[in-house]
Structure 1
Amino acid sequence: MIIKVCGMRDPENIREVAALGVDWIGLIFFARSPRRIMDNEQWTIGYGGKRHSNCQLPIINCPVKKVGVFVNASFEELTKTAESFHLDYLQLHGNETPDDCHALQKRGYSLIKAFQIATADDLEQTAGYEGRVDYFLFDTKCNSYGGSGRQFDWSVLEAYQGKTPFLLSGGLRPESAKAIRSFRHPRFAGIDLNSGFEIEPGLKDIGKLKEFLTEIQNHNSKI
C-alpha cells in the first residue's frame, strides 16, 4: 500500500515524516491552499522562526517520492515547478482534460488525476483518463478544489471498473485505520493523508502518524 502524506512544507517536519518510511510526500502549489508552497523564503525560515540553510535542499534531497499538487496550472508552470523541485509526480485537481494529461505524459511526466466522488455516477468521468495518467485519487466531493476533511462513502467504489489504480483521500484520520484495513478493491493502491494528522495546516503530528503507520503496516505484513 502506498502511503502519501500531503500538504508538507516545513523542512524539518518533512525530514521527520520521511524517516517514518512513507512512500510519497505531497507539496501543494495551489495559491488558495493554506498549505501551499509560497516561495524560496519559506525554505529559509521554518516554523517558529527556525532558520534553515540551503532553502530547497530538504525537498530536492528528500528520500521519498515528491508529488506536486496543482489546480488548473499552465503547462509552463507545471513543467517549471517540476524541474525546480525535482517532482516525481504531478497531481492534478482542476479541469485538466485527458488531452492535457496526454501532452504531459508525452513529455515524460508521471501523473495523478484527482476526482471528487459522492456517488457512483461521479466515477464515469474517469473513463476518458484511462491510459492518460498513472493513478487516480478519489476525494470527497465539495464546493472547492481543496479538501473537505470529510470521508465519502467508499462503497460507491464498487462501481469502479477501470484499470487505473487509485488512492483514497478525504477525511482520513488516525481512527480510519480499521476502515482502511477492511477496504477491498482490486485497483486500490494507497492512501493520501493530510489534515487529519496535523498540528496546524502544513505541520504534521509525527506521533499520530507513527502510531497510525505502525497499525497499518503490521496489518499489511499479515496479509
Structure 2
Amino acid sequence: MNTIRTKICGITRPEDALAAAELGADAIGLVFYAKSKRAVSIEQAQAVVKNLPPFVSVVALFVNENEQTIREILRQVPIDVIQFHGDEDDDFCRRFDRPYLKAVRVQSAADIQTACAKFPNARALLFDAYHPTEYGGTGQSFDWTILHGN
C-alpha cells in the first residue's frame, strides 16, 4: 500500500513548525547546512521542536557534514530521522543509530537504479533534480516519468 506522508522542510521558526503540524504535516525538516538560506543553529532547532505535538517526526538534513558535528547535533536536538543530501555513502549514513533518508540527484534512470543498489539500508530514497553545484532545494524538477518501472 502506498501511503503519502508529508514533510515540510526548511523550518526555522517554532510557529511555522506548529502551523505545519496543525495543517497535517507528518514531519518537519531542519536544515543543518550552513550554505542554505534555511539553515538553523542548534538553538533554533531546539526551539522549533520544543512544542511540536506528538507523532510529528523531526528530520535533520545534512550535506557532507563531518561525523563529530552530526553527533553533537543529535546529542542536543531530538531527531527522529536523518536526511543525507550530499555525497555520503551507506556506511557513513548508518553510523548514527537513526533511520536515514538519502537524497539522490537524478539525471537519468540509471541514477535511480544505482542509488537503490548503493543505499540498501536507507529508509527511503528522495529523488531530486541534478544541479552541478547545489545539493537540493533549488526549486528545479527532473523528468519524473523516469521513475516509472524503477
Q: Please report the TM-score for the alignment, with normalisation by the length of structure 2.
A: 0.87
One-letter code aligned to 1:4 = K
- Match for residue 27 of structure 1 among 24, 27, 30: 30
- For 1:62, the equivalent position in structure 2 comes to 52
Aligned: 1:91 with 2:83? yes
* Deviation per residue, 1:134-164 (Å, 9 max, x gap): 111111111211322022111101242xxxx
Per-residue deviation, 1:94: 1.0
Structural mapping, 1:3-22, within 5 Å: 3-22=6-25
Preserved contact between residue 5 and residue 24 of structure 1 (Cα < 8 Å): yes
Distance 2:14 2:94 in 1: 33
Preserved contact between residue 99 and residue 122 of structure 2 (Cα < 8 Å): yes
Aligned: 1:80 with 2:72? yes
* Deviation per residue, 1:155-205 (Å, 9 max, x gap): 101242xxxxxxxxxxxxxxxxxxxxxxxxxxxxxxxxxxxxxxxxxxxxx
- For 2:113, the equivalent position in structure 1 comes to 124
Preserved contact between residue 61 and residue 83 of structure 2 (Cα < 8 Å): yes
- Match for residue 113 of structure 1 among 98, 102, 107: 102
Preserved contact between residue 42 and residue 76 of structure 2 (Cα < 8 Å): no
Distance 2:7 2:48 in 1: 17
| More helix, by proportion | 1
One-letter code aligned to 1:82 = L
One-letter code aligned to 1:153 = D
Structure 1 residue runs without a partner (length 5+): 44-54, 161-223
- For 2:142, the equivalent position in structure 1 comes to 152
Preserved contact between residue 106 and residue 142 of structure 2 (Cα < 8 Å): yes
- Most deviating of 110-119 and 58-67: 58-67
- For 1:101, the equivalent position in structure 2 comes to 93
Preserved contact between residue 128 and residue 136 of structure 2 (Cα < 8 Å): no
Distance 1:5 1:129 in 2: 23
Per-residue deviation, 1:4: 0.6
Instruction: Specify the SS of the correspondent of 1:112.
Output: strand
Preserved contact between residue 26 and residue 69 of structure 1 (Cα < 8 Å): yes
Overall identity of the aligned pairs, in %: 33
One-letter code aligned to 1:61 = N
Structural mapping, 1:187-202, within 5 Å: none
Q: Please report the TM-score for the alignment, with normalisation by the length of structure 1.
A: 0.60
